[in-house]
C-alpha cells in the first residue's frame, strides 16, 4: 500500500468520525486534492484510488499537468487570479474558487466557450479583512453575487474561505459558524449555490462541524 492510499483511508476515516460527531451527511462532503507541487505520477495514483477533483494554484504548472494527463479529472483553480492568465483559467478549468471582483467574472465569462459547460465559480471571502489574505469583505458579498448571476457562461456555486487556525477548536468553530451563516443566507437568495469550500488538513474537524461541503486537502493526502 503506497502513502497516498494510506492517507486517503486515514482522511476518509476522519471524515466519517467527524460527520457522525456533528450529525453531518457524509454524502454532502467532497475532497479536493490540492495538487500544487505534485507530479503527474502522484496525481494519477490518487485518481486511480477514486480521487477525481484536483486543485491547482499556479497556471504554468497546472497547464503542463492538464495537457499531459489524459484522465477524466475535474480541475479547480484555487490560486490568486491574475488578469493576464484569466483566459487560461476560463478555458482549461471546470471551477474557479478565487473570484473577488465583478471584473474577474466578466473576463471569465468572456473567454468561456459557448460549447463548454458554464464555469463553476466560488467567491473568495476575507472574513477579518486581513491585509495578507485575498478575498472580498463580507459586506460586499451580496452585491458581487448579484453581479455574477447576469453572466451566462459562469455559474455561481458558493464561497471559498482560507483557514483561520486557532489553538482552541471551540474558538475556531465559532468563526466558522459565522461563515456558515453567510453561506446559508446566500443559498436562500441564489438557488445555484451549494458549495462551501472551507477546511484543510489542519482544520478538518472545525470545517465539517461548521457545514463545509468541500475540503481542500494537500499535504494530508500526498505526504507522510
What residue ranges define each of the domains in the chain, with the CATH number in brackets? 3-11+28-222 (3.20.20.10)
Three cell numbers, residue 145: 453575487
Cell 473570484 -> residue: 99
Query: At 137, is the pLDDT very low, low, confident or very high (cuts 50, 70, 90)?
Result: confident
- 71-94 confidence digits (pLDDT tens): 999 999 999 999 999 999 999 999
* Contact status, residue 212 vs residue 184, Cβ threshold 8 Å: no
Angle in degrees, 0-180, between the axes of helices 169-189 and 141-148, rounded to the nearest 10:
40
CB atoms within 10 A of CB 118: 17
Average pLDDT along the chain: 94
Mean pLDDT (whole number) for 83-107: 96
- 192-201 confidence digits (pLDDT tens): 999 999 999 9
Question: Which residue, 202, 201, 219, 197, is CA-closest to 38?
Answer: 219
Residue 81 or 131, more confident: 81
pLDDT at position 129, please? 61
* Contact status, residue 95 vs residue 118, Cβ threshold 8 Å: no
| pLDDT > 90 fraction of the chain, expressed in percent and rounded | 88
From 65-69, 89-93, 120-124, 220-224, the region with the lowest mean pLDDT: 220-224
Mean pLDDT (whole number) for 32-44: 97
Query: At 116, is the pLDDT very low, low, confident or very high (cuts 50, 70, 90)?
Result: confident
Query: At 130, is the pLDDT very low, low, confident or very high (cuts 50, 70, 90)?
Result: low
- 151-185 confidence digits (pLDDT tens): 999 999 999 998 888 888 999 999 999 999 999 99
Three cell numbers, residue 3: 502513502
pLDDT of residue 115 exceeding 80, the answer is yes
Amino acid at each position: 500500500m503506497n502513502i497516498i492510499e494510506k492517507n486517503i483511508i486515514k482522511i476518509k476515516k476522519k471524515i466519517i468520525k467527524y460527520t457522525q460527531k456533528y450529525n453531518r451527511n457524509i454524502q454532502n462532503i467532497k475532497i479536493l486534492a490540492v495538487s500544487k507541487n505534485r507530479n503527474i505520477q502522484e496525481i494519477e495514483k490518487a485518481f486511480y484510488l477514486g480521487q477525481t477533483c484536483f486543485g491547482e494554484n499556479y497556471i504554468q504548472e497546472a497547464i503542463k499537468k492538464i495537457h499531459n494527463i489524459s484522465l477524466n479529472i475535474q480541475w479547480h483553480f484555487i490560486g490568486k487570479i491574475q488578469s493576464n492568465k484569466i483566459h487560461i483559467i476560463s478555458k482549461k478549468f471546470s471551477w474557479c474558487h478565487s473570484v473577488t471582483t465583478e471584473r474577474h467574472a466578466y473576463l471569465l465569462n468572456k473567454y468561456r466557450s459557448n460549447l463548454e459547460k458554464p464555469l463553476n465559480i466560488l467567491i473568495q471571502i476575507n472574513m477579518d479583512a486581513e491585509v495578507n489574505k485575498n478575498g472580498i469583505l463580507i459586506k460586499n458579498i451580496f452585491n458581487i453575487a448579484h453581479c455574477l448571476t447576469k453572466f451566462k457562461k459562469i455559474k455561481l456555486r458558493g464561497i471559498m474561505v482560507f483557514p483561520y487556525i486557532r489553538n482552541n477548536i471551540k474558538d475556531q468553530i465559532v468563526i466558522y459558524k459565522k461563515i456558515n451563516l453567510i453561506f446559508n443566507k446566500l443559498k436562500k437568495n441564489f438557488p445555484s449555490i451549494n458549495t462551501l469550500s472551507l477546511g484543510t488538513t489542519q482544520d478538518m474537524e472545525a470545517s465539517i462541524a461548521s457545514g463545509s461541503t468541500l475540503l481542500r486537502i494537500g499535504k494530508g493526502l500526498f505526504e507522510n
